[in-house]
Amino acid sequence: MTLRTVEIMGWIRDHWDVDYKPNTRETIRRQTLHQFLLAHLVIENPDEPSRPINSPRWCYQVTAEALHLIQSHGTERFARNLRRYMAERPGLEAAYKQQRDLLKIPVKLP
């Protein structure tokens, strides 16, 4: 199942009683969904990866691996599933470090 940002905000409102205003959609996308992407918890536009960034149909989907991990929470399998999940993904710290390294420009001083 895929959800657009506004639908995610509606789900949060319905299940956790947190009501985001419509003009906070971009904030949710940048401050939450972007981190979920980097942590490999969600993917963008699984149905149409080439969808333009400004499309009103831009959507997100929980990855199968993350869903499996989340569904095992509270069971005896969770610790094992979490170790496996973490071992297979670089995590946010590694993603941010890689991003910082990519932005460096070599400089030669006299």
The domains of the chain are located at: 5-102
For the chain, how big is the Rg over CA atoms in Å? 17
Given a cut of 90, whether residue 94 has pLDDT beyond it is no
Phi, psi for residue 62 in degrees, rounded to 5: -65, 135
The larger pLDDT score, comparing residue 95 to residue 17, is at: 17
Question: 101: pLDDT confidence band, cut at 50, 70 and 90?
Answer: low
Average pLDDT over residues 49-74: 94
How far is Cα 91 from Cα 53, in angstroms, rounded to an integer?
24
Strand-pairing partners, residue 65, are none
User: Tokens standing for 41?
Assistant: 């918890």
Q: Does residue 66 sit in helix, strand or coil?
A: helix
The CATH number that domain 5-102 falls under is 1.10.10.1820
**What are 28-51's pLDDT values in tens digits?**
999 999 989 988 899 999 999 999
Report the b/e string of 60-96 with b at 16+ CB within 10 A: bbbbeebeebeebeeeeeeeebeeebeeebeeeeebe
CA dihedral (73, 35, 22, 51) in degrees, to 10, reads -110
Average pLDDT over residues 83-102: 72
What pLDDT, on a 0 to 100 scale, did the predictor assign at position 77? Answer: 96
Mean pLDDT of the chain: 88
How far is Cα 52 from Cα 105, in angstroms, rounded to an integer?
30
